[in-house]
Structure formats: structure tokens, C-alpha cells
Amino acid sequence: MEIHTLGFDQKKRWSVSHRPKIDSSRTLVVLFGSSSLLDGEDPIAELLHDYPGSLAIGCSTAGEILGTRICDESVSAAIVRFDHTDIRMASAPVQSVEGSFAAGQDIARQLNDARLRGIFVLSDGLQVNGSELVRGLNSQVSSSVVVTGGLAGDGDRFHRTWVLHNRRPQTGFVTAVGFYGEHIRIGHGSKGGWDRFGPERRVTKSKGNVLYELDGRPALELYKEYLGDRAAGLPATGLLFPLALRASASDPKSLVRTILAVNERDQSLTFAGDIQEGTLAQLMKANFDRLVQGASEAATSTSTRLSADGIACTLALAISCVGRRLVLGGRTEEEIEATLDVLPKGTQQIGFYSYGEISPYATGTCDLHNQTMTLTTLSEAA
């Protein structure tokens, strides 16, 4: 397995003058870039021109990760040639949230066969219900298949996102790559690091990703009571106070949901993923040190799933939530430094800040997460 990482910015152009000559049917180009790449100049086409026989996957971001640096209006890329692993692409349109489940099913059906070991999926970040997309994926593949990925971003604008489709940035699509054979090793980890506060409350009225009532009270009214003066900044300040959900008081599994919009008329809150009636919900707030520790724990969880036998190099794909970046501010780079401190020496890392992260909670089928650092590592056994 051979890995090269590189970056592009408007001033210095591509960070390497000579790109590696490793074009092949087992070469994968992974790239993350600004939503502005839908307009005008296209460094993506320049890069992919050198890899006509390779597969390419990528999406827009709320910040690009390259090593331990975070950039905006740039491109971060990895070029990976596998020695023994076969790879295959799939894509499906997702023009509305109602089509999300079908898009996930379609992607999984295109990729599924007996040799499939993992799927890395990227989706339009605005025209999709991430929870339904994940359910569609899970409905078609075995729980032994590792499914990870994320939802494309657009900074803090929430205006337009893209994924690579037919090797060009386009809106309204989901794309994925499948990994096949016995040699591929896929690690994964997803952790948050937020502190919970206030009582757990029962979701008494919701529909899809819209929350109407908690313990019989209007959700927005109750939420504003906890936020106090910060309530005036909703929905933006909602990124600082996500919601933790679990099925019951005895369930150790907890998913995090981020607010996307508020509705004063019906006192509802719209979240980035589904909120099921009957679940328990509790507010969360930022703890800077624990957010960074959460990134480190995600890397630890990922590393424990890597087999060290015969592995010479590893690529880490880091997907962190835009809300974490807004909260951490000038300390944001600490969380991506923390991941590389834990991952095997020599690991190369690229990634992006997202509108949602896709990963198993610990093991088994994948879930949609918000406000987490989610890591996927790719390596090959000899």
C-alpha cells in the first residue's frame, strides 16, 4: 500500500510539483475542499487529470484537514494505491430528505457482495436526512461490514454543498467507495467530549428530525430557559448546546444531535438527525479539554481495531463536526494533533469539518453522529 497526501491553496497552488505516478484500478483519490469549487477554477480537475484510471471520492467542507493543519478555501487530498484490495464506486441522487433512505439502499446494493469489507460514504449535507440514509445503508449490508463517512459541509453558511459525482463537484448526490478482500484493515472510532447538564427528559412529541415537546412542554420554550441570554442567538448558538439521546435509562449507547433551525410559531426545534418519540434527551455544553480528549479517545478506539501484523502505513480520514470547530475556535488544531499523537507512527491524515458523521457507535451497524470526532483508518495486511 502506498500513500501520498498533498494540499492546494490559491497562493501556493498544489503543495507538490510532481504528483506520484501511481494511477491504477486499485488507486483511490480522496479529497476535501471548499464549497466555492462549484464555481470557476477547478484544481480538482487538474489533480484528477493525472489519475484517469483511478477512483475518486470527495466532498465540500466546513474546513479542510491536512496533517495537523486546518485550512479554508483549499483542498486536502490523499492518493492511495492498494496492493491487494479491490475498490468499487457507487453513487445515488438525493434531491430531498424523503429520498434519503432509498439513496442509502441504492448505494449499499451497488456495492454489496460476499467480499465487501467496508464502505466509506459521503453525502450532500443539506438535501439529506442523515438518519434515514444510514438506515438505508444498514438495511442492505451485514453488520460485519464497516460503514463510515460524513455529510458535506459549507462552512457556517449552510447554503450549498457538493460531493464528487462522475469526477466533478455536484450537489444532490451520495457517493461511496467499497473495499473488498481479506487484506484491507479498516479502523474506526467516534467520540464527543461534551458535558451533560440538567435532567433527562422524555421526548413526548416529534416527527422525523423535528422535536416538538419534551415532558409535554414546548421544546423551544424549554430550550430557551436553559440557554438564558444565549437564546437570542438561536439557531447558531444551538451548536454550542447539542442534545444527547438514548433509548432508555439503562441504555449505555448515546447519540448526539445538533440544532439546525428553530420555529417560533410551533415552538419546535429541527435537528441534523431524527429524534424518536419516547427517547430520553439531555442538554450538553462544551468542555474544551474534554472535546480534545474526545478526539484522542476516538484515535485510541481506532487504533485498537488495527492489526499490526505486516502493516507498513496507514491513512487516517478525520471527520469532525462544524460545531466542534466553532466551539474550540483557536484551539481547534489541538484535536487533530491529539489524533496523530495516538495513531501509529507514520500515519498520514486528511479530513474535513462536516454537517454529520457516520460511524458505528462502537461495533456493529453504523449510526449518524453530530458533534463528534470520527476517525476511519485504512491500511493493508501483507
225 and 314 housed in the same domain = no
294 and 312 housed in the same domain = yes
Element (H, E) at 342: helix 332-342
Residue 271 sits in which domain range?
195-285
| Mean pLDDT to the nearest integer, 242-270 | 91
User: In this predicted model, which residue has the larger pLDDT, 208 or 116?
Assistant: 116
Among the residue ranges 42-51, 111-120, 147-156, 302-311, the one predicted with the least confidence is 302-311
Q: What is the DSSP string of 135-188?
A: HHHHTTS-TTSEEEEEE--BTBT-S---EEETTEEESSEEEEEEEESSSEEEEE
272 and 334 housed in the same domain = no
What local confidence, expressed as pLDDT, does residue 88 receive? Answer: 98
Distance CA(343)–CA(311), nearest Å, equals 13
What local confidence, expressed as pLDDT, does residue 97 receive? Answer: 87
pLDDT band at 111 (very low <50, low <70, confident <90, very high): very high
Distance CA(212)–CA(343), nearest Å, equals 42
- Describe the strand order of the beta sheet including 184-191 as a list of residue ranges: 69-71, 64-66, 348-354, 315-321, 373-380, 184-191
What local confidence, expressed as pLDDT, does residue 315 receive? Answer: 97
In the listed set 250, 285, 320, which residue is the last one of a domain according to the structure? Answer: 285
What local confidence, expressed as pLDDT, does residue 92 receive? Answer: 98
19 and 125 housed in the same domain = yes
State how many domains the chain has: 2
In the listed set 257, 285, 313, which residue is the last one of a domain according to the structure? Answer: 285
29 and 169 housed in the same domain = yes
What local confidence, expressed as pLDDT, does residue 309 receive? Answer: 55
Distance CA(61)–CA(116), nearest Å, equals 28
In the listed set 253, 285, 317, which residue is the last one of a domain according to the structure? Answer: 285
Q: Answer yes or no: are the C-beta atoms of 187 and 305 closer than 8 Å.
A: yes
What local confidence, expressed as pLDDT, does residue 225 receive? Answer: 93
177 and 203 housed in the same domain = no
269 and 167 housed in the same domain = no
| Mean pLDDT to the nearest integer, 2-31 | 94
369 and 269 housed in the same domain = no
187 and 333 housed in the same domain = yes
203 and 158 housed in the same domain = no
What local confidence, expressed as pLDDT, does residue 308 receive? Answer: 54
What local confidence, expressed as pLDDT, does residue 382 receive? Answer: 77
What local confidence, expressed as pLDDT, does residue 306 receive? Answer: 62
93 and 227 housed in the same domain = no
Q: What is the CATH number of the domain that holds 233?
A: 2.40.30
308 and 168 housed in the same domain = yes
Residue 44 has pLDDT above 90, yes or no: yes
**322, three cell numbers:** 462544524
| Mean pLDDT to the nearest integer, 90-113 | 96
pLDDT, the chain, mean:
93
Phi, psi angles (nearest 5°) of residue 256:
-110, 140
What local confidence, expressed as pLDDT, does residue 312 receive? Answer: 67
